[in-house]
Amino acid sequence: MGRSRGFSLIEAMVGIVVGMIAVLIISQTFMTFEGSKQTTLTGADAQENGLMAINQIEQDLRNAGVGLAEMGLHECNAFFTYDPVTGAPIAGFTTAPVTITDGGAGGSDTIVTRTASFLGSVPAYLAASVAAPIAAGASLPLDRDATLNIASGDLVLVEDGGNCVVLQVDDMADPKAPRLKTGSSFNPPVAFQISASPAWPSLNLNAKVFGFGRGDVAGPGWSTHAYSVGAAQTLRVAITQLGVAGTTQDTVRNVVSLQAQYGIADANSESVNGWVDATGEWAAPDVEHVRRIKAVRVTVVTRSQKREPAVVTAVAPAPGVDAAADWDHYRYKAYTTTVALRNVLWPDIK
């Protein structure tokens, strides 16, 4: 019977080398597969974020102008408002359903949508004039057929020949003659009305009166949603309502660019025949320009979460993206949508 023999040193070393080569091949295959998997997942992540961001903005654009569709609200050449915190007019107050602030050559734009609680088909009218300056506790005499549904604490907007005055009512004992709230956050002192430039106007017979909803508590009223790109590359929305503390939320991550344009029509037309940036005469649209805005075009660009070892993007997908470090080591998705402002189109505002 022969003696049993084990592996020799050379055989063991050969076996170890073969095993190491096998492990190396398996590891390399796994790493390649995992890299492809991560690239696919991060690309899907950018796609998902882009779809969520564009959908969120699109939904708000479709709702823009709710409560602001009556033609009288788009005849305001000058707004007279009061903010007790600043002792100045309410910042950014307008009845325009949508406004865009251009971010410049290398920045993202800001889109602001607005809604209000006025849902009636016709406004009420003043049955008598109200002289300026408007005293606290003064009444707003409404025509006897008025059906304006307002309650104590509500805001009203009075449109008179292009002048639009925002006030707050309190005493509703006589619904045809609501009184202005004394000590209101929104009814300015007489001295402020006189010293303002221009001074606050008198309100004349047959001026239109719109109910704007709650003024100093949570509830339906004039509100805005402002979309922008946050410093941490997120889609940021700032929500404000008159008299209520605003909130700011970062809703979608890895958003690197937000660009928008107005779709404009010729005067007395509803057909969009051009697209313009919010610059020049469109940087702060007056009443005539607001009437011509019929649609908004939005582009959102998102970035993958994973930084690739090699350069994977040769051309910046949007202005300013290439200002970030290693921007070309990330993958990007761009989504564009066009939204007709249906709450402007339906009433045929011209």
Helices within the chain (DSSP H only): 9-63, 190-195, 287-292, 342-345
| pLDDT the model gives residue 52 | 94
| pLDDT the model gives residue 243 | 76
| pLDDT the model gives residue 184 | 78
Q: Is 314 helix (H, G, I), strand (E, B) or coil?
A: coil
Residue 269 to residues 264, 265, 286, Cα–Cα distance (Å): 9, 6, 17
Compute the distance between CA of residue 155 and CA of residue 153 in angstroms, rounded to an integer: 7
Closest CA to 210 of 119, 117, 123: 123
Residue 88: CB atoms within 10 Å: 13
Compute the distance between CA of residue 168 and CA of residue 150 in angstroms, rounded to an integer: 10
pLDDT per residue over 63-107, tens digit each?
A: 998 888 777 788 888 999 998 888 899 888 899 999 999 999 889
Q: Which residues contact 39 (CB under 8 A, 6 or more apart)?
A: 304, 306, 308, 331
Helices within 236-301 (DSSP H only): 287-292
pTM of the model: 0.83
Query: ∠173-73-60 over CA atoms, to 5°?
Result: 105
| pLDDT the model gives residue 299 | 97
Single-letter amino acid, residue 249: Q
CB 337 within 8 A of CB 296: no
Q: Which residues contact 136 (CB under 8 A, 6 or more apart)?
A: 180, 181, 182, 183, 184, 187
Largest CA distance in the chain: 128
* Dihedrals phi, psi of 36, to nearest 5 degrees: -65, -40
State which residues of the chain have pLDDT below 70. Answer: 1-7, 30-43, 119-121, 144, 146-147, 345-350
Q: What are 113's two structure tokens?
A: 């949508």
